[in-house]
Amino acid sequence: MILKKIILLISVFFIVFKGLSQDLKIIDTLQIHEQIKQFGINKDVLNFGEFFFSDIIFKNDSTLFYNPNGTLHLFEIQLSEIPKVSKLSNSIHHGHNFNRLLFIHDDVLYSFGGQGLFNTYAGLVYFDPILKGWLEREIKNYPHNAKRILNSWIQGSKLMLVLGYHGRDPKNIFSSKKNNYCYGEIDLENLEFTKHLEFKSAYTELLFQSDLGFFKGNYRYDSELYSLHGYYTQNGSIEYRLFDKSKGSLKRTSQLDGLKRVDGISYAYIKDSTIYYRDFNGKIESFSVHSGTTIHSKDFLKHYKSKKTNTSSYLIIAFIIFLLMLGFIYSFSRKRKIGNNTKSNVQIELIQIEEKLKQIQPTIIVKEELDVLFGISHYSYETIKTRRSLLINQLNKKGNIKIERIRKQDDKRFYEYKIS
């Protein structure tokens, strides 16, 4: 009888211990930030407050890596009552890795793709702890003319990706009006690329719609089956999206809308098919990834497959063009009507932006704040840059608001925007 009680107590202990060990430790961002500042790195380069929770990845439940977006810096953070921060890298240079995919495979830290410094990067690099720097991995069968990564995620030992190449040259009017893309995977065990399908997409589609991928956000937590992404809003709250790796779909649900912004003491994470949220007082709530009402969903895999081109599709397109030519007069009149409506919508959008800017003028703000006011912060880097320039020109042309691009006083390498 005593032996049975002892066995029962031991079983309960291990069950309780296992449950506790699964709860992620508190991430004291204040203490972590204070330690990182001791390394003398420009705070604008780190952008700690904006992207810290999208730039970390867990090595285990008590250790995480921190690679600031757009840099080659790497820190190791030991979580405890007083966290300990160590700088692993010797690099002092920036990298083309904004919005890159950061992941661990076989205890090796990888960074895939990214953009920055007016350039893009479509390769795979890993961190070498002995050299204390990032090295590029050679990938078999990888397209030599790879230009940019539109989307990527880890599924088991596979790195799924959408790759863009043969980009259109805007200076050459005779170049193709469409870009070439392919959807495929990299086997991380043997580092070999396999292409599943190839398609073309209009240059304006990538530039303005960004429907081939998505911005990974200000917060990110990655699990085997899903990744959770959070996007900071102007009022200080957050909007969450759930990415299903097996389906390649990104969705917003009513249940996700109920989650609050995390600060390290509070935290949101995924285990299997359950999302957990730990509040400031340590209380943990959970719900299934399938719970709630789906408000919006984007099925990327289905979208890629729908773009696959073949001979039949070209014949269908030619036939449609022939029919359109026969109905040119009718089509032209409808286009004029649609064009007028579109212009009206643009004017309404400009008026709404003007009202936002009038409420804060005169002032000087950084480009990230301006992008939020313009409502374009969720687009890709190239899309944001183009739309920002277009909107500034249109607003300045109207004359009600004046927006000037000026250099920062404390760092002449960067720019701010003066609104008057």
pLDDT digits (tens, 9 = 90+) for 333-371: 666 655 555 556 667 777 777 777 777 778 888 878 878
Residue reference for tokens 């160590």: 86
Res 21: pLDDT? 39
- Whether residue 68 has a cis bond before it, omega within 30° of 0: no
Question: If residue 337 lies in a helix (H) or strand (E), which one and from where to where?
Answer: helix 328-358
Name the residue with higher pLDDT: 388 or 13: 388
User: What is the chain's length?
Assistant: 420
Residue 71 has pLDDT above 80, yes or no: yes
Tokens of 381: 């880097």
Average pLDDT over residues 164-178: 54
276: three-class secondary structure by DSSP = strand
Q: Is 323 exposed, middle or buried (0-12, 13-18, 19+ CB in 10 A)?
A: exposed
Closest CA to 217 of 339, 380, 404, 369: 380
Q: What is the pLDDT of residues 94-153, one digit of tens each?
A: 666 788 999 999 999 999 998 876 678 899 999 999 999 999 999 999 998 888 899 999
Would you tell me how many other CB atoms lie within 10 Å of the CB of residue 296? Answer: 9
Q: What is the pLDDT of residues 183-223, one digit of tens each?
A: 999 999 999 999 999 988 765 444 434 678 888 999 999 99
Q: Which are the contacts of 190, defined by CB distance < 8 A and separation ≥ 6?
A: 140
Name the residue with higher pLDDT: 360 or 74: 74
Tokens of 364: 């000087």
Q: Cα–Cα distances in Å, from 305 out to 200, 301, 309?
A: 11, 6, 9
CA dihedral 143, 148, 153, 157 (to 10 degrees): 30
Average pLDDT over residues 372-387: 80
